[in-house]
Structures are given as structure tokens and as C-alpha cells.
Amino acid sequence: MSFLNGLFLLALPLALVPLLIHLYRGRQRDVVLWGAMQFLEKAMTKGRSWQRLEELLLMFLRTAAVLAIVFALARPMVRSSWWGSQGQRELVLLLDNSLSMARTVEDTSAADVLKDEATKFLDSLSSEDRVHVMLVAGGGQWLTAQSIVADRPGVARLKSLVEGVEPSQGKSDLLRCILSIVHLESVEKSTSRRVVVFTDNQELSWQFDAEQSWQQLGTTLSNAEISTSVQIIECVSPTAEIDNLAVTTIEADREIVRPGEVIECRAEVTNLGTLSHEAGVVEWLIDDEVVSTSSLKALEGGETTHVTTEVRRSESGTYQLACRIEEGDQLALDQQDAVVVEVTDQIPVLFVLDSAQEYVEKTTQEFVSAALGYEGLVPLEWHSVYQPTFISPKELAETDLAQYRAVVISDPVQLDDETLGELQGFVRDGGGLWLVLGDRVDRTDFNRSVYDDGDGLSPLPVEALFENQALGEESGRIHPPTREHPATAQLANTTQLDIDEARIKNYWRFAHRSNDERSVKVLLETGDGSPLVIENYLGQGRVLVQSFPLGLGWSNLPQLKAFVVLISDWLDYLTAPSSARFNLAAGSPLVATLPLAADPDSVKVLNPAGTSVPLGGQELDNGQLVRYWQTHLPGSYRVTYEENGVSKSLPFRVAREVSESRLKVIDEPQRQLLTSSGLEFGTEAPLTNSREEESTSLEPVWQSLLVGLIALLVLELIISSWITGQRSTPVMSPLN
């Protein structure tokens, strides 16, 4: 027996109070002889024995009542076995549904073995067991909201859940899942907890390099409130030969294009098995429709190759472009990968220019329009996917930035705090911002508001306006950039482009900040190394700060062929975070903007498990914004909705981890490490283990004490009332 509030046991001496009162009332009194009382002596002697029994009974009841109060306040706990009950056992079935469980050998997959072993285990349980079920992939997903009693109907329901489990492209982290389970609070009346892991025991699934987590698991198992154990039931294919040819990556040269433009696709194919593969074919699909094929050369184990194709779509829309290996192998789930591309005729971009201040024959607006394939606001036969909108600086404060993917501001003069806040929010949400400095920039105001001690839009402050007197010197040249940055990869090609012919007359020199410069990326610089264009990250978006204008005032860049590529590539880079929102990393939120005409009650998301989940939306000026956060499982997602009675959808893709395709079962030293950490191996399903047999749950009994206290008080009240009535009733005798 143990007590939760043992301090109240110090009040046990109060149980002596009824006894002391009884002894006090029964002490010897002085005797006064009175002749008339001698005739009553005989009558008093007859009732004295019965009165003593009554007083002893009352003393016992009152003492027991005090003891009941004290013990109830101390909240005693007793072993359940003292009451003849062994309690219940918690069971958690941890089912591995990661990619490797799809491996099939001789028409039997690891997932099939898992289902057979789990069914056998469920048949061995008793009605005293309560069972939970968790899936491994995606960081752990509960299939049961509440535990299921393992009686006949409960086992049938559990078997149905197990039968519905299918392998996914998700990552397996068994250690993380086990830790989350063993830290759960035990339910009332549980005597023990057993975690049963059904897995193919891949090396990557156990995270052997996470030493701190393994130590935490061992400590938790040893110090658990109730007896906790972990049993591993292996579902491993019998052969060691691995036949696995996988599409490890896929990418498009551009994830957003105009209708009819060519999309160059490139996929990496790797032989991750031990068997060699002969030459074959890969298929390219758009929304599950085969549109082209490519030859695949023979690959030995561990060898990698690349396949390419060109596709185009004439209609605007969002499409899933996939690469699939035609030849089958043991692991079919990694023989296909996909990327989502957007085909659109218009990507709105906002240009904030004040051409009235330019005293040149051709204004900045005219140069930018020509570079994008526009004459004024009219698109030419060829035009860029970017649709420019030109406004004056005075109109910026009243413009809804959410309508645009990128904003280009020439000469950001005295931006007020409200406008700066809107620009920062625009960038944090994934928008691109291009700040182009000119002769109207006030250095002090720029450093105060735009740089803002490193917390603003610009990563560096400006120091002074540099006026170059010798354009032929290195300080007056633009140094050809490197190919490493996606925004300058094409500009670096001086064979086809003429960026090396650019000359800079004036530019704003950024202040030297040694600590900051190590983390600031420079896209363009002069021949002597002075930064001309620097980059900053803010939230999900990007900011480019250019130290000279886009017009002819300070450079000859607008007259070069490189200017057209620079405008296009830098807008590609700035709009990439919002354009690439269809291709996500696991766990990133899925965000979609639907038309205003979309029926809000029809909006759903179909996840890779085939489950359709309703989505709520937020109404905006230009549409409905919907979000979905449960994207931990890699694969294809699709947001479906109805617009004017017509069913429509948007595809999304969550990338899988290539490491999940590298199959390697744990070796003997690793098995011993698991055993030393307290885990057990075996296909048997014992109902108890040694710790569980010795352990019984502690049951609270203070509720019973409170009920007994009430009974004692009622009984004491009845007996006291009866005794009082008996002693106060006068004895009447008849008169002769």
C-alpha cells in the first residue's frame, strides 16, 4: 500500500479522541450514601452491562469514522491483486507502411507478411487487452482515436484496420514513433504497456546515429510508470538479392511557361539494387497520360544515368509531369517521380517607375517593355510570360500587392512605414521584390528605413554614390557572374551574351560590413569586386537590391542583349517561391488560390492515401485561399472543387526522400544494439513478460473509504438516537 498524500497520516492520533472521551466518562466518581437510593441498586445493576456494550459500540464507530477521514485524505493506493483483479494491458501495434514495405519477392511483399503476422498476433490476445494502432510513415499516424478492446468484435475491427494498410512513399522513423508511444500517459487500470513493431527492419528506419534519443528510450523504458516493453516482429523478404531501379530525381528547366513553350525535362535513374539491369525505356506522362518515351541504357548495381525529353502544352493550366520506368522490379513505388509545372499566359508583375524624371530619348519603361516583348502595354507576337503593370511611386501605397508575383521599384524614395510593412509582408508570403537604386535615393533615409540595422529589406546599407571617371577601368566594368546561382547561370555565358561589354558610369557603393558580407550573396559585381546586385531572404520570398538604374542614365546595360536575359531570368528567380508552390517538401503547407466562383462546400484535398478531406477557405478580393497542413506523407495531392457546376482540380507534389529507396536490412551488431536498449525480437506474441508478471497496478481506494465513512456516520447517528431515546423514556409504575 502507498499513499499519495501521506502527510495526512500525521493526524492518526486523532483516532484516540473517542477512546479518551469514553475513559473520561467512565472514571470512578465519589460515592455519596443516601438511604433512599438503596432500593434502586438492584434495578441499576440489571441495565449496566448492556449500557457498557452500547458505549463500546459508539466508541468503535466514532474511532472508525476518524480513521476513515484521515485515510481518505491520505489517498491510499493498493495493489490490484489484493482485490483479486489483474487490470488491463495496453498494446500499441506499430505498423511500418514506409516505401521499403512495398518490396515484393515471389509475389509476396513485406506488407503482405506484415498483415499475416499482425493477424496472428491479434488472434493471441485476450479480452483484457486494449489495443491502439499507429502507422509509421509521415512521422506517425494514429489509426485509432481510442483504444479497442480485444474481444471478438474488437479483434475483427482491428483486423480490418490492418488489412487496409498499404505501403506509401513515406519515410520510416521507428525510433521517433516508439519514443512518442512510451511517453504517453497510461490509462486507468492499465497494468502494463507493450509496443509491438511490425517492420522489415531497414537500417535507415532505426536512426542508429541518434545516440541521445536511444539513451532517452532506454531511460524511459526503465523508469516508466507502468511496465513498458517493445517487441519487434520482423517482416523481411527471404532473399538477399535486391532488384531496384529507381527514378531518384526529376526536374523541369522551368516550372512556369507560356502555352506552347517547350519544357525540357530531366530525370535521374539509379540502380539501387545488387542485380544489373538491361537497357530499357522510360515513359513521360502528363496527368497520367503517356506523351513521350526515352531510351534507358543498361545499368550495373550502383550506377546512375540521366534521361531527358521535351514536352509542351498548348492550353493554360497546372500539370503533373512524371517519369516512369517501364520495366518492373521488386520495389515499384520508386519507379516513378513527378514534378508540377504551370502553363499560363500571364504572370502579373508590378513595376513602380517615374519615367517623367528621365531626360533621355528612351525611358526605363520602354526598355523593360521591349525586353518582355511588349510595345507599351500591347504584347507582340513573341512576349514573355510576365505581364507588366506600370504605376507611379505615388500609386504604390494604394495598390494591392497580392495581385502580383513580383514588384520592381525604381528609386525607392522615402517609403513610409505603412508601405514598407506591406512590402515586407508581400515578400514574407513568397513574393519577389527588386529594388533598383537611382539618383533620387536619399542615403540616410534608405539606411534608416530599408536597411533598418539589418532587419529591413536590404541586407547592407549604402555608403556613398560612386562616380566613375574611367569607364574602361575595372571599376567601370561588370564582371561576368558565375554559373552557380540560378539567376546568373545564363548571364555567365559570354560566348552568346555580351554582359562583359557592360559599362557602369555611376553606382551606389554598399557599406563594408565584414560580418554581414559573409552571409550576403552577390549576383553582380564590378571588375574590382564592388557589389552591384545583392540578395536578401525574408520569410518565403526574396529581395534583390541593385545599385544602379535599369535605364540608360548610369550604364549601357539596356542596350545589350544581356539585358533581355537579365530581366527574364531575374523575374524567374524572384517569382520562383510563388511559382513553385505546387512542388512541396514534406510537412510544408499546401496553399491554393481558387476562383471566386468556386463552390466553397465542394473544396476537398485528395491525399496520397486516397482519403478525401474537406477544406475551408478564406475569401479574398481575387479568389478563395485554402490551406492544408497534413503533407508529411510524400506523393501526389490534388485539390478538387466545382466552378459553375464543372469539376476542376489542382495538382500538388510532395517530394519523397531518395534514401528510402536504399534498402539494407540491419546486421547482427545492430540487432544486438536494439536488444541492449531493451527491445525484444521474436514472432511469438506472449501475453506477459517477466516484468509484467511481477507488476500489478495500484488501485485508488479512498472512494471506498468515503463511502464507508458515510455508512459509519449514519450507523452512529441511528444508534445514538436509539440509546438516547431508551435512557430518557420515564418508567411509570401503577399506583396502588
- The pLDDT assigned to 84 comes to 45
Q: Which of 212-221, 305-314, 429-438, 563-572 has the lowest mean pLDDT?
A: 212-221
Min mean pLDDT across 3-7, 210-214, 496-500 is at 3-7
pLDDT recorded at residue 39: 53
Residues, the chain, total? 736
Lowest mean pLDDT among 135-144, 303-312, 376-385, 655-664: 376-385
The arithmetic mean of pLDDT across residues 681-694, rounded, is: 51
Residue 694, pLDDT above cutoff 70? no
Tell if the pTM clears 0.85, that is, is over it. no
Q: Does 690 score more than 90 pLDDT?
A: no
Positions of CATH 2.60.40.10 in the chain:
245-344
Minimum mean pLDDT among 72-86, 335-349, 648-662: which range? 72-86
Confidence label for 112 from pLDDT (cuts 50, 70 and 90): very high
Q: How large is the average pLDDT for residues 128-149?
A: 91
Q: What is the pLDDT of residues 196-220, one digit of tens each?
A: 999 999 999 999 988 888 888 888 8
pLDDT (tens digit, 9 = 90+) per residue, 17-55? 777 777 776 655 555 555 555 555 555 555 556 667 777
Q: 488472434: which residue's cell? A: 123
Neighbours of 542 (CB within 10 A): 24
- As a whole number of angstroms, the distance between CA 278 and CA 503 comes to 55
What pLDDT is stored for residue 516 in this prediction?
47
Higher pLDDT, 179 or 225: 179
User: What pLDDT score was predicted for residue 32?
Assistant: 58
What is the structure's pLDDT at 429? Answer: 83
Q: DSSP letter string over 57-71?
A: HHHHHHHHHHHHHHH
Q: At 698, list the grid cell.
A: 495500484
**Model confidence over 398-444: pLDDT tens digits?**
898 988 999 999 988 778 889 999 999 999 988 999 999 998 899 99
Over residues 564-577, mean pLDDT: 90
Q: Quickly name the fold that domain 245-344 has.
A: Immunoglobulin-like (2.60.40)
SS3 629: coil
Give the model's pLDDT for residue 265.
95
Cα radius of gyration (the chain): 40
- CATH of segment(s) 349-581: 3.40.50.880
- Name which of 276, 264, 370 is nearest 323 in CA terms: 264
How many Å apart are CA 23 and CA 334, to the nearest integer?
89
Q: Which residues belong to CATH 3.40.50.410 in the chain?
A: 89-238+670-693
Query: What's the whole-number average pLDDT of the chain?
Result: 84
On the question of pLDDT at 189 being above 80, the answer is no
- Whether residue 303 is predicted with pLDDT greater than 50 in this model: the reply is yes
More confident site: 74 or 164: 164
**CATH 3.40.50.880 boundaries in the chain:** 349-581
The predicted structure's pLDDT at residue 623: 77
Most confident region among 26-30, 500-504, 690-694, 732-736 by mean pLDDT? 500-504
How many whole angstroms separate alpha carbon 162 and alpha carbon 125? 15
pLDDT at 474 over 90: no
Percent of the chain with pLDDT over 90: 46
> Highest-confidence range of 87-96, 348-357, 622-631, 641-650, by mean pLDDT?
641-650
| Assigned CATH topology for domain 89-238+670-693 | Rossmann fold (3.40.50)
Taking residues 221-231, report their average pLDDT: 85
pLDDT, greater one: 589 or 162: 162
Cα(455)–Cα(539) distance, integer angstroms: 12
Average pLDDT over residues 123-133: 91
Read off the pLDDT band of 482 (50, 70, 90).
confident
Handedness of CA 233, 237, 241, 246 (dihedral sign): negative
Q: What is the pLDDT of residue 136?
A: 94
CATH topology of domain 588-649: Immunoglobulin-like (2.60.40)
* pLDDT for the residue numbered 230: 93
CA quadruple 26, 28, 29, 30: dihedral, nearest 10: 170
Buried b (16+ CB within 10 A) or exposed e, 119-154: eebbeebeebbbbbbbbbbbbbbebbeebbbbeeeb
Cα 132 to Cα 121, 149, 154, 164, distances in angstroms: 13, 9, 11, 15
